[in-house]
Structure 1
Amino acid sequence: MIALSLAEIADITGGRPHDIPDPSVRITGPVVIDSRQVEPGSLFAAFAGEQVDGHDYAERAVAAGAAAVLAARPVGVPAVVVPDVEKALGALAREVVGRLGTDVVALTGSAGKTSTKDLIAQVLQTHAPTVWTPGSLNNEIGLPLTALKATEETRHLVLEMGARGIGHINYLTGLTPPRIGLVLNVGTAHIGEFGGREQIAQAKGELVEALPAAADGGIAVLNADDPLVRPMSARTKARTVLFGEAEDADVRATGVRMTPGGQPSFTLHTPTGCGEVTLRLYGEHHVSNALAAAAVAHVLGMSTEEIATALSGAGTLSRWRMEVTERADGVTIVNDAYNANPESMRAALRALAAMGGAARADGGRTWAVLGPMAELGDASLAEHDAVGRLAVRLNVSKLVAVGGREASWLQLGAYNEGSWGEESVLVSDAQAAVDLLRSELRPGDVVLVKASRSIGLERVALALLEREGEVAGR
């Protein structure tokens, strides 16, 4: 963060200094919400959660080197006391971003946000100093924390924006006004909360509505292949740049093909030229993500050759998203268990099927270890049934459905599609899945693990690796 005095922070946040002997003391370290992450000169923002109250850790934070605490009440150590810590954090981010004048790139979508954000960050980092959202910290707290990592040297600030309702993205864009806004897709993630895809599109489109006009440098980067995203060009005064495989896309891919190991390769076309790309990521769905990243890099001035080279060298930055690890015994574990929705589940299964081509040549099998997808509302039964059926249509060798009612719908869908005998099985929990796999896996097998984050199915992948000598990044 740029250095700010405690007096400035109080003024920006509408707070008042408390137990601060010298208001001219400056914050020179990061802003953190976990006292274990405090560094000398940090500002510790104390949030009161459902189970843990950050105010109780204020003294520990200062003892660890924090210059002060941003708090909702006096805490017995130097603090800026504010009416609302979350809003104060947002106000601080808005002020810092405004002072820096850095290019803010914001992106949203129903699926692929984090993977695409990671691609954009890695491509832009080869061009100029870049700060980006770590993991999926894309909400009212995570976004300002990311923005506050920017310094005077930062040229690009890449921010992932999530939404669970109408107005959420509008609020986030008010904290860190973007110049470039990217909408990846409109799917069915959180459809139970939104009520329908049209409502999801309405929420996602708030991003392009917040952009400056074209004359002021505003650029909306939209998916030409998504029928609910392309029309968002009518909702913005910014210049529109389209990406996708459509012939009229400004940034597009031709000749998409898969390597024997399941990694996509294609020819990248931009208004300034073309280049060959072979991604290190797994699954054809990453072609769209890569095109989105290429479009952002293009409008920020990178050449097509630079973009193609950077994309071909980019890897996975965030954990448990198609994280591929090969064990010493030749079994490959694909940990994609961070989250799941119908679109990402289908994409992961197709990636597994592509990786299985090489596995079957060596006598290996493909395993889909799948858990429930949350927040689908009335669509839940149909969507779980469809995923189970897709696993059979893609010729996945073994389906292991983990959990209760929703998992039983996965297994039933597979059964009704023709998966009989031991091709699909329903198990009660993660440990039961681990026990089954440990007894059945053999060299050459490829195992996909995926479910919604709340299920915690990453435990299966981690357990399958902890007793083996694994080789990361197959």
Structure 2
Amino acid sequence: MIQIRLGDLAEILNGKLIGNPEDVVTGSVETDSRLVGAGSLFFAKPGEQTDGHKFVGSALENGSIAAVVEHEVQEQINQIVVNDSVEALGVLATWLIKELKAKGKLRVVGITGSNGKTTTKNMLREILSKVGPTIAPIESFNNRVGAPISILRSDLDTEFLVVEMGAEGIGSIEYLAKMADPDVGVILKVGLAHVGEFGGIENTAKIKGELATALRPDAKLVLNGDDSYVRAMSKTTSAEVTWFGTADEANYRASDIG
């Protein structure tokens, strides 16, 4: 994350600031109060098991400079009140991507697929980190909370950001893709994971294909040529397509696989 005044942050999030607009976020952005450190920004989000608003006090004790909340809390901490803290987290991540691309050297890789996302992300981290500062968290942070948390670990020194994009339903990959604005998209496979949840493999393919559709015309799209559902996504993108697989026509081909 880059340093930012709370007054500017409240404006970005379209929230109501209760506190000092001149105070500055100098630390990380967290949704887990146990990970908060000095100068951190804590997002209090409601959850299925508990409510992050209950842990604002813990975040304050651990050094948080401010909390993004959905309602005012009693703790004596700078607060930015928003309608939806998870949505606000995404807004902040989207803003940061634009800032870093405008002022830094950031290039973004977005990865989706029914299988192999984390392995591919980890491989890219090992490769890209030898070229320049790279953010690609070891954890599988790939949903509408985890992906922005990954993005918000970037700063002006970051050259490469690898974002894992997990599907949660129609529109979920599009949401993450518009947030991360990938320069390179990678779609690995359409498999049977979540088929029951999504209503069939065709819907799974549609959701994964949202990454292809969301890419800018000057972006690159890397597709698995061995998967018929993934191959069809080449017709839905305006990005330049590169193929990998086992077929002769693949740009990057695997052979002698034991």
Equivalent residue letter for 2:242: V
Question: What does residue 13 of structure 1 align with?
Answer: 13
Greater Cα radius of gyration, structure 1 or 2: 1
Q: Following superposition, which runs of at least 4 residues in structure 1 exceed 3 angstroms of deviation? A: none
CA RMSD in angstroms, aligned pairs only: 1.1
Residue pairs, 1:40-55, within 5 angstroms: 40-55=38-53
**Aligned residue number for residue 319 of structure 1:** none
- Equivalent of 1:122, from 121, 126, 146? 126
- Please name the residue that 1:3 is paired with: 3
Describe how 1:444-459 pairs up with structure 2 within 5 A. none
How many Å apart are 1:133 and its aligned residue?
3.7
The corresponding residue for 2:220 is 219
Distance 2:207 2:125 in 1: 24
SS in 2 for 1:242: strand
| AA partner of residue 56 (structure 2) | A
The answer to whether residue 235 in structure 2 is matched with residue 234 in structure 1 is yes
Matches within 5 A, 1:426-465: none
2:151 to 147, 171, 190: 147
Higher relative contact order (CA 8 A, sep 6+): 2
User: 2:37 touches 2:64 (CA, 8 Å); kept in 1?
Assistant: yes
Q: Distance in 2 between matches of 1:244 and 1:129?
A: 29
Q: Is the 8 A contact 2:40 2:64 kept in 1?
A: yes
**C-alpha separation in 1, matches of 2:88 and 2:168:** 22
| Alpha-carbon shift at residue 49 of structure 1 (Å) | 1.4
In the alignment, is the contact (CA less than 8 A) between 1:108 and 1:161 conserved in 2?
yes
Which residue is 1:84 aligned to? 84
Are the aligned partners of 1:133 and 1:160 in contact in 2 as well (CA < 8 Å)? no
Give the counterpart letter for 1:15 in structure 2: G
Once the 2 structures are TM-superposed, how far is the Cα of residue 189 of structure 1 from its aligned partner? 0.3
Deviation at 1:98, TM superposition (A): 0.5
- Aligned partner of 1:70 in structure 2 is 68
Structure 2 Cα separation of the partners of residues 205 and 13 of structure 1: 29
2:23 equivalent in structure 1: 25
Distance in 2 between the 1:133 and 1:234 partners? Answer: 31
**Unaligned stretches of 5+ residues in structure 2:** none
Structure 2-normalised TM-score? 0.95
The answer on whether the counterparts of 2:173 and 2:211 sit within 8 Å (CA) in structure 1 is yes
CA distance in 2, matches of 1:51, 1:170: 27
Amino acid across the alignment from 2:80: V
Who is 1:37 aligned against?
A: 35
Give the deviation of 1:48 after TM superposition. 1.5
- 2:96 is aligned to 96
Aligned-pair distance for 1:119? 0.9
**How far apart are residue 121 of structure 1 and its match?**
1.3
Paired position in structure 1 for 2:115: 111
CA distance in 2: counterparts of 1:196 and 1:2, whole angstroms? 42
Partner of 1:228: helix, strand, or coil? helix
Superposition deviation, residue 256 in structure 1: 2.9
The residue number in structure 2 matching 1:204 is 208
State the partner residue of 1:279.
none
SS across alignment from 1:225: coil
* Structure 1 residue 179 displacement after superposition: 1.6
Separation in 1, partners of 2:94, 2:206: 24
Aligned residue for 2:204, secondary structure, equals: helix
Tell me the equivalent position of 1:402.
none
**Identity across matched positions, percent:** 43
* Aligned match of 1:168: 172
